[in-house]
Amino acid sequence: MLNGKSILVTGGTGSFGKKFVEMTLQRFPGVERLVIYSRDELKQYEMQQQFNDTMYPQIRYFIGDVRDRDRLIRAFEGIDTVVHAAALKQVPAAEYNPFEAVKTNILGAQNVIESAIATGVKQVVALSTDKAAAPINLYGATKLCSDKLFTAANLFRGKRDLNFSVVRYGNVMGSRGSVIPVFSERAAERVHPNNGRGHDPLQYYAGGGGQPGVLRH
């Protein structure tokens, strides 16, 4: 399905991005180009050590921020599919820096949409979160807004051969920002593991390697 295609992953050096790249290379060795778009050059360097140029010549690294529409347009040239994984997702950080959360999670989503329309991208898959359903914090609210932007984009894409979709999943064990370490600390302190989403502690969790597969089906 992805063989012969050019794929770009925003936030590609994050927990999801790295696992997505690993699984894509394993299952679709004929992928033409796999572009890692992120703003952290150190994480890109570390990722290059894991996926070296000799073994994986199809991987490209592109420094950029989803807040920068011009940079996104440059990066999207020749891309078939965009996987949008970039986000400011730490709940406390979003609460303390609300303007920054809006710039990255909402305006960043708008930039991705407009850049995809402008450059002829065929498909955009935006990652979301269970916290966007009936949000109780700013992070969830920004992701709900982002989700609505991506679904609405299918209405104003015109006659372009372009599809926007959103994938929501729960806490991912082993990922940065996972609630699992918090639960571990509370268990050690004999505190109920409820993380504040009502009285029912039941919530959906996925293993670190589980969620990228959703995007390929």
Euclidean distance between CA atoms 172 and 129, whole angstroms: 10
pLDDT on residue 62: 97
Report the alpha-carbon distance of residue 98 to residue 214 in Å, rounded. Answer: 30
- pLDDT, residue 171, reads 73
pLDDT of amino acid 182: 64
**pLDDT confidence of residue 217:** 46
What is the predicted pLDDT for the residue at 52?
87
Measured in whole angstroms, how far is the alpha carbon of residue 120 from the centre of its chain? Answer: 20
- What are the domain boundaries of the chain? 6-216
Q: pLDDT value at position 169?
A: 83
Beta-strand ranges (E) seen in 17-150 are 33-38, 59-63, 81-84, 123-129
| Largest interatomic CA distance in the chain | 57
Low-confidence ranges of the chain (pLDDT < 70): 172-184, 186, 190-217
Catalytic residues: 131
Tokens of 61: 């690294």
Which of 3.40.50.300, 3.40.50.720, 1.10.3720.10, 3.40.50.10420 is the CATH number of 6-216? 3.40.50.720
